Structure 1
Amino acid sequence: MKLKILTLALLVVFSLVAPQFIIAESINNSGEFFRHFARALHDRDESKLNSLIDPSVKIPEIKENTPIRGLETLPSPRKNTYVIIGSFRDDSFDDCIGGCQRIAFIWEVSMKSDRISKIKVISDEANPFMNELILTKEYKEKFNKQIYGPGYFPFKITHVSGKISGKKITLYYKNVNTPCVVNIHAEPTAGELILPKGNMYKPITLHKGYKGFIGELPEGYELILLNDKIQYNVKLIGDSTNYKPSKRDLIKVVNSMFPPK
């Protein structure tokens, strides 16, 4: 109960504080340690992080690629233990000057012999879909083209990743526990669909006036269509044990992607 009350208090304190690039409050003589820890987290420096933690400790996964802007540290009711609050830098809001912040995580960290001996996750506020936003925003800035992602998935998404290569963008929406994937590959064309050679893909009419072609893959299905002279190849893949892909699910995924014409 004490820890829950303290966590609520921390949320209030954090919302009223505007940390600089990297901040760690000095607690006894631990301020310098947490400054190093904050810098290593910001840089995603695994070697540095490993030097600050006990070999038995695993740093909790942060499922978002947004830069970590700051780290607040406060005492915990437990001996040799601190509560740390990480914050993401968030430039997704147009009305923010110099970048906004939002909570990334709240961890309870136990110390032993100037090393972190235990990390307990109190709250994980990372949003893997921010990785989609970062990539599509970068693509639009480079090529002045909006890339659309799905609003519907037939399974829970735990990870989102992707890359931009030339004018091609690839997005992966995964559930690593199942495993299953929605894979989107998008790139400009001259205005005509390019279908696989010797394909057995069949034409399909989608919602909102879109038309495409759907075909079967060894591990799922693929739907190909055009929007604003961008060809989208959307694949729904599963292992058939935990999740069996279906045409119906893939069509629902694609129907959730685009605005009305």
Structure 2
Amino acid sequence: MKVLAAVKRVVDYNVKVRVKSDGSGVELNNVKMSINPFDEIAVEEAIRLKEAGNASEVVVVSIGSSKSEETLRSALAMGADRGVLVDTGDTNIEPLAVAKLLKKVVEQEDPGLVILGKQAIDDDCNQTGQMLAALLGWAQGTFASDVEVVNATSAKVTREVDGGLQKVLLKLPAVVTSDLRLNEPRYASLPNIMKAKKKPVAKPTLADLGLSEADIAPRLEVIETRAPETRSAGIKVASVTELVEKLKHEAGVL
């Protein structure tokens, strides 16, 4: 069984995000970029499935600018076999467009399982996996904290839901989105980083996938981007009576 894992290039989670002075978006120049953490977990799970003998090949795919090849190379260094990069330039690609592109890649690659992060840390949409499953007409297991391939036709997925854990049996092929507790991604070793530079990365165009610029054009318009307001400093009170007065008359919570 082939496993396909999708990865997205995002601002590194350790970076303090800054808004552009004109409010048109987030500053990306000279900012460290990396694999979306949830997608990194998805890649790790795909590799573990191969190591356990449940997968024959791990293919990673990324959609974005040519710079996303760095992200693919990072996933290849973890242990994936080959990559697919759909270069969409600097166009802002929304979840539905990503799902459409992934659908075309899935149809060409014919994997038994597609696994991706439950959401990206830049837009937090949490939509791509569900949209992809709907477009493909496949079963889906979202917010997965455990994935077990039962046989060639089914897999068990433990989902994290508000009320606790939910276990579902999926008919393969299926789409799975990873949660934080699914696993802890490995660090790529230096030899594997060097090997990743030689692993193949296919670069199909939109035309190769049977799509056009109109199919991935943004449907939403960002009017303005603003940083959250800075929290004001706290104050000290001398007594409980003063605290109650401030909560009642200044904070308005009593």
Q: TM-score, normalised by structure 1?
A: 0.22
Larger Rg: 1
Scaled by the length of structure 2, the TM-score of the pair is 0.22
Higher strand share: 1
Q: Relative contact order: is structure 1 or structure 2 higher (C-alpha 8 Å, sep ≥ 6)?
A: 2
